[in-house]
Amino acid sequence: MSYTIADRYLIKKLNTNSILKVVLEKGAVSRADIAKILNLTPATVSSNINSLIRDGLVHEVGIGSSNGGRKPMMIELNENGKLFIGVDIHKDGVEAAIVNLAGKILARSERQFNGHSTEFEDDVVACIRNVRDFLPNMKLDGIGVGMHGIVDTNQSISIYAPAMSRRNIALKDYIEKKESLPVFIDNDANAMAIGESWFGQAKGVRNYIFLNVGRGIGSGIVINGELFHGNRYAAGEIGHIRVVESGRRCVCGKYGCLDTVATEYSIIRDVINAIHTGVSSSITELSKGDLSTIDLNMLKEAARLGDKCVLEALDKMGRYIGVAVSYAINMMNPGMIVFGGSMSVLGEYIIESIRSTAINLSLDECAEGVFIVISSLRDNAGVVGAASLGMQNLFKST
């Protein structure tokens, strides 16, 4: 069999990406171990590692242990070898962070959209500029954007951003022109799912769902190690599964969607309603009587104090999420469900009711062996996930 130059280039790229991923996952590792893990010849591994060293992506870190014979030189990821900006655009604001190859955040900035967020592009660019100003001398390699709503990853446009009532926003072109860096864009939950597989709980898991629960609810679906976007890029809209008969009207126009009962807004609304009906809660004191100031930190503190009103609201929220998750488990038979997004800062007070409801309602065979866990990236999942969209060309081996 003969290879063309293009074939050779592709094979080399796949090999260097696979090697880089092993180094990311294993930490310090020898060339011989890499050859064994990837079933490559020592010569191929050496040649590819030499190019990774030249590109500043890995470096040698001293001598490892050996069972006899020459002790091997260990290879380690050069964490700051490339830096990416991760941008998370949600319903009412934008966060941006400079993230290194180990998924660590070096600088971070956020900005709220003003009033009606129909014209938000300038705020996004301002937030990016702000975070760049923290590290003005660092070379940056790209920008990843996690955008709420539905994103056409082929044309790199936001097809529909419901919170902004906007369609067909050419975000990639806009940001690339302003920032002169390559821009990669996907739905926010999809970006988080990628980030979780490289830097969080889903390392090595082939089939899993990332739940982004925050100001809205979405999910990123990974099948056989690949993101599943669906026929028209709209897969994973778990927030619009109906979980309440005759429920509230949702932003999508339907009624009783999960999005109406399990977001940051709905939990705050439920706690305020309970207090207004005479339920006593430490929130009244924590908010100094001004219930309009309730935020996630306040809810977390109340939950830590064992506040019954808040704990019950969180438990109820978990049960609603569990209902939707049971559908996903029956449809997909995943190995893992990762609970992430801004609400995951309250994860330990919600995860048990998600877990028990989801397992109770799904078919035993579908739920067998599924791990339902809290994202280890927590509220960093948005920016780290977005940055990992930019890194896909480095790590992606399939």
Q: How many other C-beta atoms lie within 10 A of the C-beta of residue 224?
A: 8
The correct pick among 215, 240, 319, 355 for binding Zn ion (CB under 5 A) is: 240
Binding segment (CB under 5 A) for Zn ion, from list 139-147, 252-260, 282-290, 388-396: 252-260
Binding segment (CB under 5 A) for Zn ion, from list 16-24, 89-97, 182-190, 245-253: 245-253
Cα–Cα distance, 220 to 239 (Å, whole number): 12
What character string, x for contact with Zn ion (CB under 5 A) and - otherwise, covers 254-293?
x--x------------------------------------
The correct pick among 74, 250, 274, 367 for binding Zn ion (CB under 5 A) is: 250
Sign of CA dihedral 85, 90, 95, 99: negative
Position 243 contacts Zn ion (CB under 5 A): no
Q: Which residues pair with 145 in a beta bridge?
A: 87, 185
Q: Tell the smallest beta-carbon distance from residue 196 to Zn ion (Å).
A: 24
Nearer to Zn ion, 185 or 241 (CB): 241
**What are the tokens at 155?**
């044309």
Is residue 35 within 8 Å of residue 23, measured between CB atoms? no
**What are the tokens at 388?**
């990992």
Nearer to Zn ion, 95 or 188 (CB): 188
Sign of CA dihedral 44, 46, 49, 54: negative
Counting beta carbons within 10 angstroms of the beta carbon of residue 398, is it exposed (0 to 12), middle (13 to 18) or buried (19 or more)?
exposed
Q: Tell the smallest beta-carbon distance from residue 339 to Zn ion (Å).
A: 20
Is residue 105 within 8 Å of residue 97, measured between CB atoms? yes
Nearer to Zn ion, 167 or 249 (CB): 249
Position 241 contacts Zn ion (CB under 5 A): no
* DSSP-derived 3-state class of residue 226: strand
Nearer to Zn ion, 104 or 254 (CB): 254
Nearer to Zn ion, 94 or 323 (CB): 323
Q: Tell the smallest beta-carbon distance from residue 239 to Zn ion (Å).
A: 6
Is residue 100 within 8 Å of residue 113, measured between CB atoms? no
Q: Tell the smallest beta-carbon distance from residue 162 to Zn ion (Å).
A: 9
Nearer to Zn ion, 250 or 298 (CB): 250
**What are the tokens at 349?**
């007070």
Q: Tell the smallest beta-carbon distance from residue 160 to Zn ion (Å).
A: 13
Binding segment (CB under 5 A) for Zn ion, from list 243-251, 264-272, 354-362, 381-389: 243-251
Residue with the two structure tokens 């990837």? 38
With a CB cutoff of 8 Å and minimum separation 6, the contacts of 339 are 211, 213, 321, 347, 350, 351, 354, 372, 373, 374, 375
Binding segment (CB under 5 A) for Zn ion, from list 39-47, 232-240, 275-283, 317-325: 232-240
Which contiguous run of DSSP H or E holds residue 192? helix 188-199
Q: Tell the smallest beta-carbon distance from residue 291 to Zn ion (Å).
A: 26
114 alpha carbon, distance to own chain's centre: 25
Position 252 contacts Zn ion (CB under 5 A): yes
Is residue 386 within 8 Å of residue 146, measured between CB atoms? yes
Binding segment (CB under 5 A) for Zn ion, from list 62-70, 108-116, 235-243, 389-397: 235-243
Nearer to Zn ion, 254 or 300 (CB): 254
Task: Tell me the chain's radius of gyration from C-alpha atoms.
Answer: 23
Cα–Cα distance, 262 to 324 (Å, whole number): 11
Q: What is the DSSP letter of 272?
A: H
Q: Which residues pair with 183 in a beta bridge?
A: 143
Nearer to Zn ion, 10 or 252 (CB): 252
Total residues contacting Zn ion (rule CB under 5 A)?
5
* DSSP-derived 3-state class of residue 80: coil
What character string, x for contact with Zn ion (CB under 5 A) and - otherwise, covers 188-227?
----------------------------------------
Binding segment (CB under 5 A) for Zn ion, from list 217-225, 236-244, 271-279, 306-314: 236-244
Q: What is the DSSP letter of 202?
A: T
Binding segment (CB under 5 A) for Zn ion, from list 26-34, 81-89, 249-257, 345-353: 249-257
Nearer to Zn ion, 100 or 187 (CB): 187
Q: Tell the smallest beta-carbon distance from residue 252 to Zn ion (Å).
A: 3
Sites of contact with Zn ion (CB under 5 A): 240, 250, 252, 254, 257
